[in-house]
Structure 1
Amino acid sequence: MNDNLSFPEISDLHKKMFYNCTIAVIFLILGLISFSVPMAGIPGYVPGIIFFAICIIFFVKYYKMKKVFRLNYKQNVVLHVLNQHFQNVNYRWDDGFDRNLVYSLNLISPGNTYSSEDYLSATYKNVHFEQADVTVKEVTTDSDGNTSTTVYFRGRMIVIDYPKITSYVRAVSKKFYHSRSLRKSTFPEIQTENVQFNSLFKVRAASEHDAFYLLTPPMMEKLMYILSSYGNVGLCCQANRMIIAINTRRNAFDANASINLDYEKEIRALTEDVALIENLIDILYS
């Protein structure tokens, strides 16, 4: 497996992936048609088996190419951008946050399907952080065999070292759907003196004192600014860590879906993904 391709070679491999996938789909459709509309004198299953066999061959080629493509794109394009913006970079694109860790944060309702990738640990302006893409879903099947999927969260979780040490404090924007339910007796709801903040966020905390210690007027202004920038946000602070979850509904550090990859466009898109982390730290530490 070649893991040191140049960008033109990566782009060319991306095209070949698309063509192999397209051919596989065409033969899959032909196979389905042959079973429903048999040729004169030829049983439908004969050409159908041939078409399905060709379909499988091209799908196998597609997935093999996809594996090589992702490895090279992540290691030779994404990592290059990360090293330009951060220090002490540890990037494991095929790894992520542990499920139990994410659920223990009490931000997102736990589902029965979980995945995480694009783990990144680094420092920015001497502030250490970790981040990963996280997807949480609930997949159910009714008595008739119909399957439905509810996406609880698909976005980025960012763990930032923060100088204030507190017990558990959580602030979740009211647009942040499927937040985890917390026992009122354990985590009572907190009302701040900022009416606008109260209309945008629901705050629960183990300690009212720690909630107000964290949610100073400047911090509430910062959180409202983050909310206006990214549409929804859930965060919790515990010990000296601030965990921010943003439901972007997409994965970061992925290649463009178009057939032809343009180097400048890819770098711009990746830089925008990086900027989200930089902006959060800049805002919190300003």
Structure 2
Amino acid sequence: MDTMQIVNQLDGLHKKYRQAMYLFAAPVVLLVIAYIGAPGMGAMAGTVVAVLMFAVPVGTIYASGRMSKINKEYQMIYKNAFVVSILNKTFSDVQVNWECGFTRQNVEQMGLLKLGNRFDSEDLIHGAYEGVSFDQADVTIKNVTGSGKNRHTTTYFKGRVFVFDLQKSDIRSVGIRSKNFQYYGNLNGFHHENVKLESEAFNREFKVLATYPVDAFYVLTPQTMECVTDLYRRAGNVALRYLGSKLYVAVNTTGNAFDGDIKKPFVYVDEINKIKNDCAVIMDIIHRLRITDAQ
């Protein structure tokens, strides 16, 4: 199947999705109209409203399920046709698993994120760039309390989590986070000291913790601090941890990386640029955090 056929297929799924959205909204709209017009409908008003009261949940459940199914098909075509191609052109040793991501245990071991009672991760990507191996996935962590009308959901984290391999393994635990990172992990309970750097600007926006402060001064070069600050400016929240031969990074995002937007018509150039931008985040971290220098 050539590119134009794939684009046409995605455009067809986009149109089906929009139709399902209208189907989702239609019963609610009809119910509102029935309520407004009930006084003029006489004896039929009760029957019409009762029928619509039954139709609304049935119709919305059906439409919601159909939208989810169409979107899943859209994402699989989009990722396998376009994302994989660009990943292979950008990185080496690429392996993808769109259905799975990091496990809860994986993220817990990183020590970066507070874990709630709802955990989801998908779009696991492995690759290498300039000799540095990495894994990345989308992660969503929520905490749900109460039930029924008293049910409350707090989103602890929604974004991208990265793991970069370092050959240098004598860096003990160093954690860096933006101070507005509310649901930060406990760095696996290791003892850490607060570290103040020479940069007052960095100290105002970030908290630095290290098992041995000398490690923090080693990894937080001016270039590294600039990169961390840029990530923070772009995402609004960022957390990192150097631990032995690993660098863990968690960055908030407004949407899932490498996902297409089924709600919009497919524009080839825009989508290719979006995928390249998602790749560029990985490349930028490797370059600017001097991961290659630490090999």
TM-score (norm 2): 0.82
Alpha-carbon distance between aligned partners in 1 of 2:180 and 2:238, rounded to the nearest angstrom: 8
Give the letter for the 1:265 counterpart: D
Partner of 2:25: 25
8 A Cα contact 2:238 2:249, kept in partner = yes
Q: Alpha-carbon deviation of 1:48?
A: 4.8
State which of 206, 210, 222 in structure 2 corresponds to 1:205: 210
Partner of 1:148: 152
Partner of 1:63: 68
Q: Alpha-carbon deviation of 1:279?
A: 0.9
8 A Cα contact 1:153 1:249, kept in partner = no
State which of 257, 267, 273 in structure 2 corresponds to 1:252: 257
Partner of 1:106: 111
Q: Alpha-carbon deviation of 1:268?
A: 1.1
Q: How does 1:155-194 map to 2 (within 5 A)?
A: 155-165=159-169, 166-181=171-186, 186-194=191-199
Give the letter for the 2:17 counterpart: M
Partner of 1:117: 122
Q: Alpha-carbon deviation of 1:221?
A: 4.5
Give the letter for the 1:169 counterpart: V
8 A Cα contact 2:227 2:285, kept in partner = no
Q: Alpha-carbon deviation of 1:110?
A: 1.5
Distance 1:112 1:47, change over 3 A: closer
Taking every aligned residue pair, what percent have the same amino acid on both sides? 32
- Indicate the SS of the match to 2:116: coil
- Indicate the SS of the match to 1:204: strand
Alpha-carbon distance between aligned partners in 2 of 1:185 and 1:157, rounded to the nearest angstrom: 21
Distance 1:57 1:221, change over 3 A: closer
8 A Cα contact 1:169 1:237, kept in partner = yes
Q: Alpha-carbon deviation of 1:277?
A: 0.8
Query: Where in structure 2 are there 5+ consecutive unaligned residues?
Result: none
Pairwise CA RMSD: 2.9
Distance 1:190 1:133, change over 3 A: same
Distance 1:68 1:257, change over 3 A: closer
Q: Deviations over 1:198-254 (max 9, x none)?
A: 223212222334333433455445434544454432100111110111112321111
Alpha-carbon distance between aligned partners in 1 of 2:216 and 2:124, rounded to the nearest angstrom: 29
Q: Alpha-carbon deviation of 1:33?
A: 5.8
- Indicate the SS of the match to 1:132: strand
TM-score (norm 1): 0.84
Distance 1:28 1:186, change over 3 A: same
- Indicate the SS of the match to 2:106: helix
Distance 1:17 1:195, change over 3 A: same
Alpha-carbon distance between aligned partners in 2 of 1:53 and 1:229, rounded to the nearest angstrom: 41
Q: Deviations over 1:170-216 (max 9, x none)?
A: 11121323212469982222233443332232122223343334334
Alpha-carbon distance between aligned partners in 2 of 1:141 and 1:262, rounded to the nearest angstrom: 43
State which of 112, 131, 151 in structure 2 corresponds to 1:126: 131
Query: Where in structure 1 are there 5+ consecutive unaligned residues?
Result: none
